[in-house]
Amino acid sequence: MTIEETKLLLSNIQIDYASIPYPKYLNANLDDLENQYQKLNALKDQLRDDFAYVRLLNSVTQTLERLKRMREQTNWINASERGINKAIPPVIKKGNGESMLPFNWKSEKSGELCSITNGYWGARNYMVMDFVGYIFLLKAGGEKVPEDISPLFDGFDSIKKRELELDANGNGESHEGRYAISFSDKHFRKFTNLKISSSSIFNLLLETSRVEFKLSFPVRLIMGEGKNGKPDLREKWYPMNVYSRLFEIACINTDTRKDGIVQKRQYRLYFNTILGELFVHNLLTRNYDWVNSDLYNLPPSAQVFYRHFLLHHDYTKLQLSMSLIIREMNFTDKNMINLVRNLEVNTLNPLVRRGLILSYKKLNGLNEDKYEFLLPGKKKRDKETSSCA
């Protein structure tokens, strides 16, 4: 190969590598990156003193190693409660520091006004609820997921009665209640596959616990007897009458360095609010889906999109209008070209690479554009998830 041919090949690889969106280890294709690495390695004798070549080789090598480590990592599965995923929209702090709180919207399902205040809500907060939900199920079932359903409420009247009781007693202000869980930093890292400090875990739990919601919340209720004598369980959207947090948190430091840095903590969470008890009720009526912990490595918007639109059903084909996507994802970019590009690069393409979307295409509608998705179906996803536990 002549030096001109070598330079041309290097230039083509640079262009291909530069086109991979950041973070590259989440967006790169393993086979394509391996191929690029092999081609670069073959150029070593001719280009070992070329700074651009050395820099590109190092970057490709690091991305490839990180991608391989992520693929080889043993993944955990968590139970993702459907009400949280359906009812709570992402509310992200604006980069200019302007407050979005309280964030208000009208529920599409019930027509009720809903609100979020006292904190923001994003992909990491949903993840926290996956984790604490699965911990609760393991506790309720004696180290395994309960086989039988055991609802807390039998209808809207019983929910409203409990809501009034909790509100009269100072909803969530004391560490008392019927339902609580305990865990450590080690449990959190294991269930999420995240290597983060004890302080980061504590701050994330505290941040999640402080957000207050007034929601129209989907609750799974027994509506009678169904087939084969089994309960007929249906989802009904309950309009909450008061603001409520999901849980309250207490913790103790179990290992502190001489300089005062806490290395380990033990936590206790109390579901002593109406929203916390609705969350528990749904878990105990099997109103949840399984998610693989590698979901938490995807870009935040990809995680949220998957939760809102794909996780809770078994469709193999789905159409979503652009206005619905913008509203449910709480996108604020007024430039539609930028919005569509970011949607595809940061949200849809990572889900395609993960296999959670098989393919998608943009359709030009008479009144507005739509996206059509081909999906693997829930049974296939559940089978893949269970094999990764």
Residue 298, phi then psi, degrees to nearest 5: -75, 160
Predicted pLDDT of residue 41: 84
Do the beta carbons of residue 144 and residue 138 sit within 8 Å?
Answer: yes
The list of the chain residues with pLDDT below 50 reads 381, 383-389
218 and 349 in a single domain? The answer is no
Task: List, for residues 346-371, the tens digit of each pLDDT value.
Answer: 999 999 999 999 999 999 877 889 99
The residues near 240 (Cβ < 8 Å, ≥ 6 apart) are 163, 213, 214, 215, 216, 217, 274, 275
327 and 185 in a single domain? The answer is no
197 and 133 in a single domain? The answer is yes
What's the total number of domains in the chain? 3
158 and 188 in a single domain? The answer is yes
216 and 131 in a single domain? The answer is yes
286 and 158 in a single domain? The answer is yes
- Assign residue 382 the CATH number of its domain: 1.10.10
Q: What's the rounded Cα separation, in Å, for the pair 278 and 249? A: 17
169 and 36 in a single domain? The answer is no
147 and 287 in a single domain? The answer is yes
Predicted pLDDT of residue 32: 84
Domain boundary among 31, 48, 72: 72
Domain boundary among 240, 264, 296: 296
Domain boundary among 263, 296, 329: 296
Q: What domain range includes position 42?
A: 3-72
Q: What's the rounded Cα separation, in Å, for the pair 140 and 146? A: 7
The residues near 382 (Cβ < 8 Å, ≥ 6 apart) are 290
225 and 120 in a single domain? The answer is yes
Predicted pLDDT of residue 379: 58
Predicted pLDDT of residue 1: 73
Q: What's the rounded Cα separation, in Å, for the pair 262 and 161? A: 42
47 and 93 in a single domain? The answer is no
67 and 82 in a single domain? The answer is no
Query: Looking up tokens 């603001």, which residue turns up?
Result: 243
Predicted pLDDT of residue 21: 76
Q: What is the DSSP letter of 258?
A: T
Q: What is the DSSP letter of 21?
A: P
214 and 243 in a single domain? The answer is yes
Segments of the chain assigned E as strands: 77-81, 103-106, 113-117, 180-184, 212-214, 216-225, 231-239, 248-256, 262-270, 288-292, 317-321, 359-363, 370-374
Q: CA 28 from chain center: how many Å?
A: 21
DSSP string, 62-111: HHHHHHHHHHHSPPPEEEEEHHHHHHPPPB---TT----PSEEEE-TTT-
